[in-house]
Amino acid sequence: MNKVKIGIVGYGNMGVGHVNNLMAGKVPNMELAAVCDIAPARLDALKKLYPEIPVFDNATAMYQSGLCDMVLIAVPHYDHPSLVIEAFSYGLHVITEKPAGVYTKQVKEMNEAAAKSDKLFGIMYNQRTNPVYQKLREMIQRGDLGHIKRITWIITDWYRPQAYHDSSTWRSTWKTEGGGALINQNPHQLDLWQWLFGMPDRIFAKASFGKYYDIEVEDDVMAYFEYDNGTTGEYITSTGEAPGTNRLEIACDMGKVVVEDNQLIFKRNVISEREHNKINTEPFGRPECWECKIPADFSGGEQHVGILKNFASAILNGTELLAKGEDGILGLTISNSIHLSAWTGETVDVKHFPDDRFYDLLQEKIRTSTVVKKETQKVVDNSKTY
């Protein structure tokens, strides 16, 4: 096998981007073998652009066709786990778009199916390809920061106007999307949080639902994370701020690290603050601090293309996966914990997350929903990739 033959399930915004990248040859060791979508208008749009690509109107038919070595799932969130599980049953490798699912209970079932399969499972956590976050993770794992005291991530540059929420019937409802800012815009940052710092032990959160828009799901969130080792964290996100902010700040024994505007700045203490505190005798004495701009590739990395290249290399050459599909439950557990805390006012035990309780409360949100949306979505403009 010289190239991996990939089938794409879903020709919406993300599916269009993946198709265009593949057809432009940006993933040399992958070949687009088929595309599936349940919407005839979308398949018609695809046929006009790429008449040579086989199309299917249901995933099962594409799975059974024998055309694909692997599939990429790019459909609304609730359907990710079921389509992944079915793909494994047909002996296919699988990548799913983020999030892994809407609630941990269904994602655990998906991960169990992956464990029983001998096929590879990946997730489209494309921010893991960003060299800035890779460099930061390397610094943390090497111990350059010492003990991390506090983590603050303000990620509010997700502005989405009402027109966005009205653009499709599946957006911004408990029944069809399963949440708002947390489940749609923030899965990458929640994954990066646990990838960099590990899973928090407890979460307390406040959220506003429909604060800025005529929607029933969250559009403004503030969450407080606690770790057993004393580290604390604040996570602030919103889709209602323009212009927004994307700033990750890490206070640590060795100083302070800031990631902002795709730059990595380390205000590095010459000796650790804890060591300084032991030997200092001056009432206002501070450790000497140097401001260091950490060298890294600030291009943003290969993003979606990088994940696909890595996945193909894993199939062909045994390369280690950068983003394992099983990891999807980690960021989702953080997301579900924030929702659960915001709904109940309780501090949530992340280590022993109550899957069934969360599921039951989500079903109650769905049952009591009064949202009625009209379909306003037009046929996708294939000139726009994301």
Q: What is the CATH number of the domain that holds 119?
A: 3.40.50.720
Which pLDDT tens digit goes with each residue over 226-272? 999 999 999 999 999 999 999 999 999 999 999 998 889 999 999 99
Q: Are residues 23 and 166 in the same domain?
A: no
Helix, strand or coil, per DSSP, at residue 210 = coil
Which pLDDT tens digit goes with each residue over 269-294? 999 999 999 999 999 999 999 999 99
Could you tell me the pLDDT band of residue 373, with boundaries at 50, 70 and 90?
A: low
Q: Are residues 310 and 335 in the same domain?
A: no
Q: What is the pLDDT of residue 92?
A: 98
Is residue 352 in some structural domain?
yes
Mean pLDDT of 356-376: 86
User: Is pLDDT at 378 greater than 50 in this prediction?
Assistant: no
Mean pLDDT of 64-68: 98
User: Is pLDDT at 334 greater than 50 in this prediction?
Assistant: yes
User: Is pLDDT at 316 greater than 70 in this prediction?
Assistant: yes
CB atoms within 10 A of CB 64: 12
Is residue 319 in some structural domain?
yes
Q: Are residues 314 and 291 in the same domain?
A: no
Q: Are residues 44 and 14 in the same domain?
A: yes
Q: Are residues 102 and 146 in the same domain?
A: no
Is residue 381 in some structural domain?
no
Is residue 349 in some structural domain?
yes
Q: What is the pLDDT of residue 298?
A: 79
Q: What is the CATH number of the domain that holds 362?
A: 3.30.360.10
Q: What is the pLDDT of residue 376?
A: 45
Average pLDDT, the chain: 94
Mean pLDDT of 69-85: 97
Q: Are residues 209 and 251 in the same domain?
A: yes
Q: What is the pLDDT of residue 98?
A: 97
Mean pLDDT of 291-307: 91
Where are the alpha helices (H) located in 130-245, listed in sequence order? Answer: 131-142, 162-165, 181-184, 187-197
Q: Are residues 112 and 156 in the same domain?
A: no
User: Is pLDDT at 360 greater than 60 in this prediction?
Assistant: yes
* Tokens 């450790």 sit on residue: 287
Q: Are residues 20 and 167 in the same domain?
A: no
Q: Are residues 160 and 252 in the same domain?
A: yes
Q: Are residues 62 and 95 in the same domain?
A: yes
Number of H helices, E strands in the chain: 13, 15
Mean pLDDT of 317-326: 98
Is the separation of the CB atoms in 67 and 7 below 8 Å?
A: yes
Residues 261-279 as b/e (b if ≥16 CB within 10 A, e otherwise) read eeebbbebbeebbeebeee
Q: Count the domains in the chain.
A: 2
Is residue 380 in some structural domain?
no
CB atoms within 10 A of CB 291: 10
Helix, strand or coil, per DSSP, at residue 56 = strand
User: Is pLDDT at 75 greater than 70 in this prediction?
Assistant: yes
Percent of the chain with pLDDT over 90: 91
Give the pTM.
0.93
Q: Are residues 145 and 182 in the same domain?
A: yes
Q: What is the pLDDT of residue 370?
A: 87
Is residue 374 in some structural domain?
no
Mean pLDDT of 132-152: 97
Residue 253 lies in domain: 131-297+331-367
Residues 6 or more apart from 344 whose CB is under 8 A from it? Answer: 361
Which pLDDT tens digit goes with each residue over 156-182? 999 999 999 999 888 999 999 999 999
Could you tell me the pLDDT band of residue 383, with boundaries at 50, 70 and 90?
A: very low
Is residue 197 in some structural domain?
yes
Q: What is the pLDDT of residue 170?
A: 87
Which pLDDT tens digit goes with each residue over 1-55? 799 999 999 999 899 999 999 999 999 999 999 999 999 999 999 999 999 999 9
Q: How far apart are CA 199 and CA 225, in angstroms?
A: 9
Q: Are residues 96 and 153 in the same domain?
A: no
Is residue 386 in some structural domain?
no
